[in-house]
Structure formats: structure tokens, C-alpha cells
Structure 1
């Protein structure tokens, strides 16, 4: 008689390490497909870095400051006492309230879908088993057929910077700032650095923004990033381009930033926001033969499988695009791959980017530099917010919308927006860009009817402006 092989019995069908957007996307997809799922969270509450230190708190802070700026600049309130000011600790209270609501909501998702939430630090024993360490209990070993790494990332911390100094912060620890600084240095002018530059300048803090590159946010359309540079300059932010730090000197009364160019800068505190590192250092990857790169990131295939077939990775831990929105979709795709053995779904080609400076920046599709390099004949349609009735009513007239479209086919190739609500406005253009069978043309915005007055009207204005350039 043939010898039968006994199936391996696992505690779970899948274990997800991390409860940020990527982990949540994978867990929900798997649970709704009837899989036995557990998630492991090293911190006290679910939500990951996105909810507790990254996307949610920084955007909540930005919203408070933006509304305060609107209040101060609105003519309706000019007769009131304008001497009052917000402090950083005050706006942190609002952010804390938003975080609480998000944690409750996300926690309810796991409970409702019967996903077991395990608190502790996970590390590999082998490809199917994980050791869970908790401070107040013995280690436990749990197993699963599939494991998804959604451990996220943390701020990059160079070895020669003393982050234990009370005046030296990264983008996580800045949320513990108790004082209201008069002057802050922000080293690193990427998305995080620019967003916090907006927040602190909006609070009336003197800001020095140090950029290691020759222009702000070089991946954005040049005109849009130049608009932010001008807005920063006009609001009093000092930007130093092309600088690298040599060392940071912490003092009792402040910090001194020593740059490789020989310059010295002193401020009350410094926010070091120059890059991020994947959270893989505690996973004991060597036990399964995986190796992270120098920034703690892992390589995956189109289904988000690592080099170990039953181990997947999604979100910041795999690098680009490092967006919460994309991480959730990556988690769902990884879940589908586990459920069906493969997944033909991919992230969309044109992933929208929202940068929550004051004003906001957002884009989807190609920028002018990319289209020029590819020798694609394009034209530009523009609308300035100051000409829109809704912007005049709301006193949010700073900003513009730019539509890039093919001169011959009139196909929309890119949408770029600078101004209040830019991250919302760009999705109108994205919806048309995604249309098939000839539905994606700039003429849609001319022939449709918009509510009046709205910011969406900018699309009609920009479309007519662009079509008028054709000959």
C-alpha cells in the first residue's frame, strides 16, 4: 500500500507582522476569504507607524495649522484680536484625538473579521514558525503556512547623531516636543521635511530647511515644486540647497548644525528628516535565508513574494513607492496571491502622490520633464485658483491646476496641482485618465457641467486654456 503523508498542521493559515496599511490590507483580504489569520503588533495598539507617528498625526497637525492660517488671513476676522497664537503642544492634542479614533476604527476591523491580534515582537524560527516576545510573559512559538511582512519603516538615524539629546528629534520623536521653539532647523527637504517646515512656519516659528539636493522634491513637476519653493521663501522659510551635514552639536540652550561646506547654523532644536529605514532588524531574517539591503528593505516579485516562496513583504519594508495608499493595495494583492496561488492584479501605473505642505501639492501621471525626455508632443492647460469664485469666497486663492495632454490625441497625460485641497482635486483628473476606449481626453472637461462655484471648475478653465493653445 502507498504510504500517505500527513498534512502539516499550522496554527494559522497566514500570519501578518505589522498592522499598518499593508498589514491591514493583507489581513482583511485573507480573513474575508475564510482564512485563519493572526496579526502581530509590537506596540500596544494597532495602526502601525502610519497611524501613530507618520501619516495621520502629521496631517492632523497640518490641518490645525492650515485652519489657523486661514482664520488669521480671513478679512471677516480682521477686526478681532490677532495677537493669539497656536503652540505645538496645543495642536498635538488635536492629533491625539484623531489617532484615538483611528485606532478604535482599525481595531474594530480585526475584531469584526475574527483576526487574532497578538502583541509582541516577532522573529523567525524558520520559514513557517515565529517566536513572539513580550515583556511580561514567556516567549511563544506560533506557525502559519504563509507569513506577510508589513513591518513598515522608521526614521533613518546616522550613528554620529545623538538622538538621545533633548533638542535633537526625528520625525517620530518630534511628536513628543513639549516646548514651543522660536527657531528650528529641519535637515532633509523631502516630503516629511517640507511638511514639517510648513507646520512650524505656520505656527510662527523661524525655519531653516536644509536640502541635500539642488531643488525641493525633484520627483515632482518642476513648476509645482518651484511654486512650493517660492511660497516657502515668501513666508520666511530659509532654504539651503546642496548641503550635507558634518555633525550636530547638542548644547544646553540649543543645537548647532555643522555642514560639510563649513557653514554653521544654530537653533533651539533640530528635526533630522533625511530618509527612512525598513524595520527588518529584529526579524532574525538569517533564520530563513533572507537578506535586507543597507536601508533594511527586502526584494519581492510582482506578487510581493520574497525569495522564500511562502514569505511575502509589502509596504515601506520593500521601498518605493512608500505610500500608505499603495501599501494597502500591496497587502490586498499579496493576500490574493496567497488565496489563489498567484495574482494578476497590479498596482496602477499612475499612482497619485499627495504632499501635505501648506498649500498642498499633488500629482498623477507624467510631468513635463518626463514627457520632454520621451519626446511626446504635449500641450499644457492651466487654471489659476485666484480666478475661481469658490477660491475667492474661501480666501484660498494661492495655487493652480495644470493639465498635460497629447497634442494630437488630446489624451490626458498628467495632472499637477498646487493649492488648498490639491490632494482631493487631483482625483477628478485621475478618474478621467483611467477611462478606456477613447474616454480619456481633455475635451471631457469642456463638455461636462460642473457645480458652480467649486474648485472643480479649475478643470474646465484649464482644459479650455490648453485647447486654445492648439493650432
Structure 2
């Protein structure tokens, strides 16, 4: 039996970052990946594919130029599923090649196969050819990610009723689509297909969406979706879904009936822990397959077994998963692990993008912090005019007492890039004066920070900082 300092199950963001970190500390590391290629959900069915699909859709549809040339404008008149898939395959090949090179350069060993516990320190790996090997780890990092939640009542067929993994394999673009689930994944795919001029209806039992995002940003986002004729049926539930004459018919709990070409079920994901035989290691997952961990060390209740990434739950971001994997690996091999900065950005790659960092206005109110907001609209910037933007909003929240930035929230083109300026100021405890006194490149969308800063500064008046 081979003995390793660290066994890593899964090669997604948390697994690969943890494995490379441990290897850089001189430890013997083995990564076990059950997929055909390394990369995990992030590379093959999640983060990278969905963002590649988004970029391809926006480019081929001419979406970004429609502010100038009208809603009928297209770069490619007839866009096929193959057009979308071609760019996706090129991108995935590159991601896998980079990851394999990183493993080779850092001397991280990796094998393909399904891993399961025999005891708390030993795992069985069943390889594709049926060979069974046993490996042992002084420490073990579980970074198995998640898989789509597939309830029994949903008639999945891989063609007209699909989950988010199957959506990447469609052969033709639907003329109409119903998306069940107004979470991040559902909203991203709904808006991407809407940009391709598919008639999209979004259904969710909750009467609100994206409750962790600043309410004003969500309201602006919803306005943009409705303005382009996307139907939002919030507070309604699909009780019955049946195939009918090549279409799909849905019956909602209020009696309403919908007929569509395709249904995407995107109402949640499950931790991919069901095949790990967790009981043999003294562990158990919750009802959604997730593992409970110490939020500072990512250790499970079994001290030498760690878990990181989507399998531990919110925020389920590739960026935060990487940090979790790195911290878990350092703790696992006995190295010091510094706590990451308090504020991290959250990005939603919908059309338009949403990105946020820090406290929302609702959270500031709950904490009874005296505050003021500054708002800038992208159409107020010269760059916005050049790009033909008539939408887009940047909002910053400042403390009246300390004048420090408390939160930055953006909806619009480039939001996931722009947010990092606000993130840096937040973590460095900067004040409104930073935005008022600093010079930004002209013309850029980043000028919106100065506009919003001045907006807040004017409202704050002569209130002096108590720093």
C-alpha cells in the first residue's frame, strides 16, 4: 500500500490548490479524480463551461453592440449549438493542459478512479479498467464538489428536460425555455439563452431572488430582465412536468400551464459524497450531501480529514474554494495558515453581470450603522457612451461615523472585474476620500467609482471622520 502525506479526492479548485500547496511544502501528495480528465466540476461542467458559453453567446449574438445598432443586430445570423460547443472544447483543453502541467511541475501524483474509505486513513480506488488499489494518507482532503439535484418527479431525458450538466451537450438551440430555479446557476443560464433570443421563463417557489445581494441591485437587475421580455414567475411552483408531442408541458401550483421546447431544472446541487463510504471514516453528510467543517481550518470532526470547496456549502465559489483548499492543505501538513482577508467578491456571470463585496444596505441597517450611499450609472461615464451602455449601476455604502467603505455592489458590463477596486479599498479600510481624491483612467468604466464617491461625499457633507 502506498503511503502519502496528503490524499486529495477531487481535482477542482479546492483540490488542485490544496494539492499544489502541500507539494510546494515538500510533501508527498496524491490526487484522485474520478472524471475522465483532471479539473473537476469547475473545468468540465461548472464555472469554466458556463462562462465560456456566456462569452461565446455575447460575441456571436452581438449583444454588446445592440446599444448602437438595435436589438435585431447580430454578428452571426444563425447561431447553432455547435458554434457554442466549438469554443467550449478549445477552452477546456487549454484548462486541462495548464492543470496537468502544474501537477507535473510540482510533482503532484494523480490517478483516475473512484475513491471510497476503508477506514479513516485508508482509501480504496477503483480504476477505469477495474483494477483496485489501496492508498493511505496521513491527512486527507475531500474536495469532491457537487452534482445537480435531480428529484424523482422531474422527467429528465437529456434532451428536452435537463439538468445544468446536460445543458452543455444540447444539439440544437431551443426557441423557448423554462428554467426552474432562480438561484445563481438558473439565473446565469436563463440570461445567457435570453441573450441568444430564446424566449425564457424563469420559475421559482420563492417570491424573491438572490436574497444575499443588495436589494437595490437585484431590483435593477430584474428591471433589465423584464425590459427584454424575460418572464419571471416568482412565488410559483411547477407541480407537474410532462412530455407532450416533442414539447414539454408544465402545470404550476396556481393552475397556470406552460408549453416550451426545453426545461432546465437548476434548483440546487448536492454534495458528491454518496460514493465515499463516509461511515467507514466516522463521517456523515447532511441531507444535501454536504460536510460540516471548522470554518477556520476546514477540518471535519475527524481531525486528520479535511473538506473544502462546494462540498462544504456557501459561498460555493471557485475563488473561495481555492483559498479553502490552500488553507486546509497547510493545516493538514502542519504549516501555519494565515486567515484570508475579511471581504471577498461574489460574482454572478449573468447577462448583465452582478458582483458584490462587503455589506449590503440591508446588512448595514440590521447592524444599526449610520451610513450614506453613493450611486453611479454607467451611462454617466464617457466609456459607457463609447460602449453604447444605457444600463449598469455601481453603488457604494459608507459609514457616516468613520467614512470607511462598507460595501460595493455592481450590476452591469464588467461588474466582476470592476469590483476588485472596491474589494481592495474595503480590505485596506479606505474611506470615501480615496475615491474623491484619486485619479482614474479616462475614459473607463472605473470612473463610476469617482462618480459614486462624489455622490456619497456630497450627501455626507461636513461630517468629520473619527479615525
TM-score by length of 1: 0.94
Distance of aligned partners of 1:83 and 1:89 in 2 relative to their CA distance in 1, 3 Å threshold: closer
Aligned 8 A contact 1:26 1:335 in 2: yes
Aligned 8 A contact 2:67 2:390 in 1: no
In the alignment, what sits opposite 2:187? 194
> Residues 336-355 of structure 1 correspond to what in structure 2 (within 5 A)?
336-340=330-334, 343-355=336-348
Distance of aligned partners of 1:49 and 1:82 in 2 relative to their CA distance in 1, 3 Å threshold: closer
Q: Which runs of 5+ in 2 are unaligned?
A: 462-467
Report which stretch shifted further, 77-86 or 329-338: 77-86
Secondary structure of 1:443 counterpart: helix
Aligned 8 A contact 2:67 2:389 in 1: no
In the alignment, what sits opposite 1:11? 3
How far, CA to CA, are the matches of 2:256 and 2:72 in structure 1? 44
Match of residue 423, structure 1, among 389, 405, 416: 416
User: 1:461 aligned to 2:451?
Assistant: yes
Shift of 1:409: 1.3
Distance of aligned partners of 1:293 and 1:51 in 2 relative to their CA distance in 1, 3 Å threshold: same
User: 1:232 aligned to 2:225?
Assistant: yes
Match of residue 64, structure 1, among 37, 56, 66: 56
Match of residue 301, structure 2, among 283, 300, 307: 307
How far, CA to CA, are the matches of 1:367 and 1:201 in structure 2? 28
In the alignment, what sits opposite 2:465? none
Secondary structure of 2:417 counterpart: helix
Distance of aligned partners of 1:251 and 1:135 in 2 relative to their CA distance in 1, 3 Å threshold: farther
Secondary structure of 2:77 counterpart: coil
Secondary structure of 2:288 counterpart: coil
How far, CA to CA, are the matches of 1:258 and 1:80 in structure 2? 35
Aligned 8 A contact 2:343 2:357 in 1: yes
1:185-237 CA-partner distances (Å, limit 9, x unpaired): 00001111111111111111110100221122121111111111111101110
In the alignment, what sits opposite 2:380? 387
Alignment coverage as a number of residue pairs: 459
1:227-281 CA-partner distances (Å, limit 9, x unpaired): 1111110111000011222232123411112222322211011000000100000
Shift of 1:310: 1.1
Secondary structure of 1:199 counterpart: helix
Q: Which runs of 5+ in 1 are unaligned?
A: 1-8
Match of residue 442, structure 2, among 452, 459, 469: 452
- After the TM superposition, list the runs of 4 or more consecutive aligned residues in structure 1 that deviate by more than 6 angstroms: 76-83
Aligned 8 A contact 2:251 2:258 in 1: yes
Match of residue 327, structure 1, among 316, 321, 331: 321
User: 1:27 aligned to 2:12?
Assistant: no
Aligned 8 A contact 2:120 2:282 in 1: no
1:53-89 CA-partner distances (Å, limit 9, x unpaired): 0111111111122233336516479998878142333
In the alignment, what sits opposite 2:29? 37
Shift of 1:378: 0.5
1:81-132 CA-partner distances (Å, limit 9, x unpaired): 8781423331122122111111111111111111111100000011111111
Aligned 8 A contact 2:121 2:281 in 1: no
Aligned 8 A contact 2:66 2:72 in 1: no
1:124-157 CA-partner distances (Å, limit 9, x unpaired): 0111111111231321111111111000001111
How far, CA to CA, are the matches of 1:407 and 1:176 in structure 2? 52
How far, CA to CA, are the matches of 1:136 and 1:10 in structure 2? 19
Aligned 8 A contact 1:16 1:39 in 2: yes
How far, CA to CA, are the matches of 2:87 and 2:76 in structure 1? 21
Aligned 8 A contact 1:89 1:180 in 2: no
How far, CA to CA, are the matches of 2:69 and 2:153 in structure 1? 50
How far, CA to CA, are the matches of 2:268 and 2:71 in structure 1? 41
Report which stretch shifted further, 145-154 or 344-353: 344-353
How far, CA to CA, are the matches of 1:319 and 1:252 in structure 2? 39
> Residues 130-141 of structure 1 correspond to what in structure 2 (within 5 A)?
130-141=123-134
How far, CA to CA, are the matches of 2:363 and 2:72 in structure 1? 49
In the alignment, what sits opposite 2:84? 91
TM-score by length of 2: 0.95
How far, CA to CA, are the matches of 1:80 and 1:256 in structure 2? 32
Secondary structure of 2:54 counterpart: helix
User: 1:205 aligned to 2:198?
Assistant: yes
User: 1:114 aligned to 2:107?
Assistant: yes
Aligned 8 A contact 2:343 2:358 in 1: yes
User: 1:318 aligned to 2:312?
Assistant: yes
1:25-63 CA-partner distances (Å, limit 9, x unpaired): 110110000000010000111110011101111111111
